[in-house]
Amino acid sequence: MQTTLIESIAREVAECTACPLCESATRAVPGEGPADAAVMLIGEAPGAAEDRSGRPFVGASGRLLDALLQRAGLDRSQVFIANVVKHRPPENRDPTPAEIRMCQHFLMRQIAAIQPRVIVPLGRHAAKFWLPDIQISRQHGHVHHVDGRVVIPMLHPAAALYQPKNRPLMEADFENLGVHIRNGVRSAP
- Residue ranges making up the domain that contains 57: 2-181
Q: What is the dihedral of CA 164, 65, 117, 43, to 10 degrees?
A: 80
Residue 150: the pLDDT is: 95
User: 122 in a domain, yes or no?
Assistant: yes
79 Cβ contact list (under 8 Å, min separation 6): 33, 34, 37, 38, 39, 40, 41, 69
User: 96 in a domain, yes or no?
Assistant: yes
Apex 125 CA angle, 113 and 99, nearest 5: 70
Closest CA relative to residue 174, chosen from 81, 74, 68: 68
User: 153 in a domain, yes or no?
Assistant: yes
What mean pLDDT, rounded, does the chain reach?
93
Name the percent of the chain lying above pLDDT 70.
Answer: 96
- In angstroms, the CA 126 to CA 90 distance is 18
The pLDDT of residue 189 is above 70 = no
CATH code where residue 174 lies:
3.40.470.10
Apex 164 CA angle, 161 and 167, nearest 5: 90
Give the residue-averaged pLDDT of 168-179: 96
User: 90 in a domain, yes or no?
Assistant: yes
User: 188 in a domain, yes or no?
Assistant: no
- In angstroms, the CA 85 to CA 65 distance is 19
pLDDT one-digit tens code per residue, 40-88: 999 999 999 999 999 999 989 999 999 999 999 999 999 999 999 999 9
- In angstroms, the CA 183 to CA 74 distance is 14
User: 187 in a domain, yes or no?
Assistant: no
pLDDT one-digit tens code per residue, 98-107: 999 999 999 9
Cβ-contact 144, 128 below 8 angstroms? no
User: 131 in a domain, yes or no?
Assistant: yes
For the chain, what is the domain count?
Answer: 1
Closest CA relative to residue 124, chosen from 95, 89, 149, 164: 95
Ranges of beta strands (E only) in the chain are 39-43, 80-83, 118-121, 144-146, 149-151
